Structures are given as C-alpha cells and as structure tokens.
C-alpha cells in the first residue's frame, strides 16, 4: 500500500523531473514541443490508510453493546471457547477512527468463556463492560481512575498449574460485571445475585489460568492504569473470537 508519505515523495520526484513551471520553455530548441517525450508519468492511485470506525473483530451484536461515548477499549479475544489463553489489544478512538495502542498476551479463566457466567464455573464472562475503578496492594502508579490501595488485595497460595499467586493483585482494574460501579474493587455488592459470580478483574498475570479474571504482565497492568481515562469512558470487550464476531 502506498502511504501518504510515499505519495508526497513521488509528487516531489515528479516536480523535479518536470521543473517548477513545467511549461514549453523547458524544452530544448531543437525538439518541437509537440513531439517531446513526456518526462513524467501519472501518479498511481493511492489508498490512504484510515483507522476503522468499528473495533476490529466485533460483529454487529457485540458492537451494538459498545457505548457511543466510549473512546477507549480493552479488547480481550480468547483463543477458543474453552481456552484459557487470550490476547489483549488496547484501542483508543480519535477523529479518524479506532487505533491500536498496544497488544499483549493474556490469561483468562481455566475453562474459557461463558455467555451466562455462574459463580465457580471457572469461565470468564463474555460481554462489554465499563471500567471505572481500580486498586491494588501497591500504591497508585499514576492512574486517573479512582484507586483503592490496601492489604485487602493480598493473595497467597498457588494457581491451577502450581504457580504462586502472590502479587497477582498488586494492581487491579474492576470489570463492571455484576458489581456496583463507583466502588472499590473489593466491594461485594452483586446486583445480579451471588449465584452469578463477581469479582472479575483485570490483574497481574501469575503465569497460569484464572478463576474468571483476565490477567496481563505487571508492566502491562501499569500501562493500562496510566492510560485509561474516565473522561474517555473506557470499556472492556471480552470473549472468545467466535463469540465476539457475532
């Protein structure tokens, strides 16, 4: 694809070949202007790269759930319906469309994904959820989201693959699935009832599947916290690729 910069370079080269004026005065006296061989060639058609107006990978059903005011989106795409591995892409919307700012590997729940998450099913909920609140065991790394620091984010024990869980909640962002937005991630209010689960977070990866959350490396969590802006109404769009394409 020829970019805008390439087009400018081609145009500059054409001007150098024809001269700034490009008129008959530039032709040698012994060669009639009518029989001159043209010294320039037409520029090829140029397709300028334009950011998509819709988040890539989303079908009409999923896209319809993304709020109009959202200008930041964390898209979590699972490798498969029953896979615990996924990819996170951080998007931001400008005047020209949605642009990817970063892409990272991630983990999700041990058994993959669910359209109807239940407590203890070891699946991550599929859907579009707002992101309004953060916290962690460590101090605020510089986020614009409300941040709750405290010992309540301490976690011990081991994960499903025997990996230590310590440090997993050093940084978290609450995913507004079955929770009350505007409260600490530690708040246990469950509007849909306790049976529908909750406590679904973005948090630090511990090297294995989660119980329902999405986890990325520590440095990527810090990047997310520093980038997400309440004024841009950030959301997370999450699910396996086939489900998101509906």
Task: Give the model confidence (pLDDT) of 91-139 as tens digits.
Answer: 999 999 999 999 999 999 999 999 999 999 999 999 999 999 999 999 9
Residue 9 has pLDDT above 70, yes or no: no
Say how many C-beta atoms besides its own lie within 10 A of residue 66's C-beta: 16
Domain residue limits, the chain: 1-49, 60-244
Q: Which residue has the higher pLDDT, 191 or 40?
A: 191
CATH 2.40.440.10 fits 60-244, yes or no: yes
CA atoms within 13 A on the CB side of 184: 12
Return all residues near 9 (Cβ < 8 A) that are at least 6 apart.
Answer: none
Q: What is the rounded distance in angstroms from the CA atom of residue 28 to the CA atom of residue 114? A: 77
**If residue 47 lies in a helix (H) or strand (E), which one and from where to where?**
none
Q: Which residue has the higher pLDDT, 41 or 236?
A: 236
In this predicted structure, which of 4-8, 36-40, 210-214, 225-229 has the lowest mean pLDDT? 4-8
Residue 109: what are its φ and ψ, rounded to 5°? -65, 155
pLDDT tens digit sequence for 52-92: 899 999 999 999 999 999 999 999 999 999 999 999 999 99
Q: Given this model, what pLDDT does residue 34 score?
A: 41
Residue 48 has pLDDT above 80, yes or no: no
Return all residues near 232 (Cβ < 8 A) that are at least 6 apart.
Answer: 70, 71, 72, 92, 93
Q: Given this model, what pLDDT does residue 50 score?
A: 65
Q: Given this model, what pLDDT does residue 239 score?
A: 98
For tokens 């986020």, name the residue.
143
Average pLDDT value for residue range 228-241: 98
């Amino acid at each position: 694809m020829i970019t805008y910069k390439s087009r400018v370079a081609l145009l500059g080269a054409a001007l150098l070949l024809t001269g700034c004026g490009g008129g008959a005065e530039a032709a040698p006296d012994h060669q009639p202007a009518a029989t001159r061989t043209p010294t320039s060639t037409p520029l090829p058609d140029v397709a300028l790269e334009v950011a998509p107006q819709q988040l890539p990978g989303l079908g009409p059903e999923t896209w319809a759930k993304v709020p109009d005011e959202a200008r930041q989106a964390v898209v979590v795409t699972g490798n498969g319906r029953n896979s615990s591995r996924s990819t996170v892409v951080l998007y931001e919307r400008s005047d020209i469309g949605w642009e990817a700012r970063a892409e990272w590997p991630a983990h999700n729940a041990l058994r993959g994904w669910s359209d109807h998450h239940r407590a203890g099913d070891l699946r991550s909920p599929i859907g579009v959820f707002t992101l309004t609140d953060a916290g962690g065991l460590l101090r605020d790394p510089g986020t614009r989201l409300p941040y709750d620091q405290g010992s309540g984010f301490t976690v011990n024990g081991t994960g499903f693959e025997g990996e230590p869980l310590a440090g997993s909640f050093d940084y978290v962002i609450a995913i507004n699935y079955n929770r009350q937005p505007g409260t600490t991630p530690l708040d246990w209010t469950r509007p849909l009832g306790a049976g529908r689960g909750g406590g679904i977070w973005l948090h630090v990866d511990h090297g294995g599947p989660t119980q329902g959350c999405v986890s990325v490396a520590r440095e990527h969590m810090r990047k997310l916290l520093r980038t997400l802006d309440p004024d841009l109404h950030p959301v997370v769009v999450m699910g396996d690729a086939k489900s998101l394409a509906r």
